[in-house]
Structure 1
Amino acid sequence: MRVVEVTAYGGPEVLSMARRPEPAAGEVPGKVRVRLKAAGVNQADLRIRAGLYADAVGALKPPFVLGTDFAGRLLDPVPGMEPGTRVAGFHPWFEALTGDGTYAEVIWAEPEWLAPVPDDVDFTVAASLPLASATAQQGLDRLALPAGATLLVTGASAVVGRLAVQYASAAGLRVVAVAHEGDEAELRVLGAEQVVTRGTPEDVVAKVLAGEPEGVDGVFDGAIVGDALLPALKDGGVFAALAPDRVPVTERDVRVEAVRAVPDAARLAESLRKVADRELITRVADVMPLEEVAEAHRRAEAGHRPGRIILMI
């Protein structure tokens, strides 16, 4: 089967197509096979490939296969789902550290990762959701802000931030979103009370404080900015950090929560149903064949357009 391997730490050029044996039924007790149709390109993939997390992955060295998000068809039966069922989920790459990710035609999956995909949700759309929705929901859980509190969401034009805006608004939070110019009207429809356009961290903080002079109660740092956002927080506020190298040093009694999402199939199934019913809006930036993975990484790093880049497999 085709896979994409990281052959060494470096730029997108280190990504190389390769062939590995296709998994056979029953080879790994307790796991099932999924034939993938789509896989998402996440910021974590870029940072792992670049070697930014080399210490965090310990003994795992290239060559390895990246990838977390997936959507495809089940090859083996699991309780409640027959072979051929359309499924999506995410592979907890950092927790497993096997080097077997979702940039591949067939993967092994734990049954508890898998959520059914409604028939009217495309595989490409489904693959944009699993890690992003889990990160947004579990990040908001960790913030634990009460209804009526003010939450700053950076990266609100991208998929994680966009979902965080929607989940936070549904939970009764007042959302201040940081987004690309031109996305303001849509994000207000999705639940943001105030939208400020991107800029330097200092510019963003100034714009936020112009609308919230006392500061916000919480920050969901979808854009992975880090310490520079702390001046926007009230004393005793709470900060959700999504990358291990962008966790702020605490100050002014600010509580910092480092968020690494874990699979939650029940919540994912609910989110996929909401996508099917147009109650939840994700964002796909580009759809590219697996063979163009290096260009997909280049576009993601350049911020080609906001949203998830999806690899068709």
Structure 2
Amino acid sequence: MRAIGFTEFGGPEVLKELDLDEPHAATGQVRIRVHAAAVSPSDTLSRSGAARAIILQMNPNYAHPQPPYVVGWDVGGIVDEIGPDTETALRLGDKVVALADPTAMKGGYVEYLVTPADSAALAPSNSDHVSAATLPMNALTARLALDKLALPAGATLAVTGAAGTLGGYVIELAKLEGLRVIADASEADEALVKELGADVVVPRGADVAARIREVMPEGVDALVDGSCQDGAVINAVRDGGAIVSVRAFVGSDERGIVWHPIFVSDYLTDQAKLDRLCRQVESGDITLRVAGTYPAEQATQAHDRLEAGGVRGRLVLTF
């Protein structure tokens, strides 16, 4: 089986084509013939080795697997095998999106992905494999963030990294729930962030908390820190408010502020939530954004481009 992976940590140049044993679905699993795999910042962190420290912070008993390593959270493809005695509504030939679990370093940059049946859902009918592959990880992370915060309609939510894929999904889902959204953006991205639904856009940067306070002098009810500014955003939040962080960061509990470090693995097999997101794409409530595509053998170039910054939407590898 063709895969893209690496045997040692490092820069994009460590990525190479691998020939791995073809996997097969066991009970409770499906196999997907992968046509597209999204490239995310999480992939570059894993490839560089930086993700290991984050995972160990969340799970001190984590045992790092042996090489070769394959990363990638999101895939789009076709169900081509269903494990024996597997109870699932999915059928052979279904066009699906799915989550891999690259915490085991056996992720989605593969020709065939075996995954729990509940980690896959019917792809949006109005998407192709490439666009569909941009949905699962970031949209489920956005869903998890809002579920953790459980804000009532009318509350005010701030979003950093709003022009990114995670930030965009947070904005769109928050607006569906009746929240007021204050988001950050560069001048070049301001129109995009407004189009996604933000009520107020403030300049991005190290002083984003002060910019948000100019709009909300009493502070926002909660903040999703998509740009990973960590403790620098705390002053944007009111006393007793909450902050969602996406890389295991937990800051000070000053002024009664609650931190929610989240990890998408919590929703790894929540098929109902993934399916709902796919249906929201069909209804036009969620926007899929593809920044560019690369043949799988050009994964090095894709990682180079992502790490150069400024990518809006997801880069996707095609198999």
Corresponding residue of 1:19: 19
Corresponding residue of 1:127: 133
SS of residue paired to 2:51: coil
Q: Pick closer, same or farther for the CA change 1:191–1:80 going to 2, 3 Å.
A: same
1:63 maps to 2:75: no
- Normalized against structure 1, the TM-score is what? 0.92
The Cα shift of 1:279 comes to 2.4
Corresponding residue of 2:6: 6
Corresponding residue of 2:59: none
Q: Deviations over 1:247-283 (max 9, x none)?
A: 3233221100011122322222222222233221122
Q: Pick closer, same or farther for the CA change 1:216–1:267 going to 2, 3 Å.
A: same
Q: Unpaired segments of 5 or more residues in structure 2?
A: 57-61
1:258 maps to 2:267: no
The Cα shift of 1:188 comes to 2.7
Residues in 1 aligned to 2:186 and 2:94: alpha-carbon distance in whole angstroms: 37
Read off the aligned partner of 2:231 and give its amino acid letter: D
Residues in 2 aligned to 1:180 and 1:297: alpha-carbon distance in whole angstroms: 23
The Cα shift of 1:30 comes to 2.7
Aligned 1:110-259 pairs, distance under 5 A? 110-199=116-205, 201-202=206-207, 204-244=208-248, 246-259=249-262
1:91 maps to 2:89: no
Residues in 1 aligned to 2:131 and 2:258: alpha-carbon distance in whole angstroms: 34
Q: Percent identity?
A: 36
Read off the aligned partner of 1:252 and give its amino acid letter: R
Deviating above 3 A after TM superposition, structure 1's stretches of 4 or more consecutive aligned residues are none
Corresponding residue of 2:80: 75
Read off the aligned partner of 1:271 and give its amino acid letter: L
Residues in 2 aligned to 1:63 and 1:10: alpha-carbon distance in whole angstroms: 13
Q: Deviations over 1:99-154 (max 9, x none)?
A: 31101100111111111113331111110000111100111111122222111111
Read off the aligned partner of 1:7 and give its amino acid letter: T
Q: Alignment length, in residue pairs?
A: 305
Stretch moving more, 84-93 or 103-112:
84-93
Read off the aligned partner of 2:166 and give its amino acid letter: V
Q: Deviations over 1:150-207 (max 9, x none)?
A: 11111111111101001111111110011232332343343211012322x22x1222
Q: Unpaired segments of 5 or more residues in structure 1?
A: none
Residues in 1 aligned to 2:129 and 2:9: alpha-carbon distance in whole angstroms: 30
Given that 2:163 and 2:192 are in contact with CA atoms closer than 8 Å, whether structure 1 keeps it comes out as: no
Residues in 2 aligned to 1:247 and 1:108: alpha-carbon distance in whole angstroms: 34
- Normalized against structure 2, the TM-score is what? 0.90
CA RMSD of superposed structures (Å):
1.7
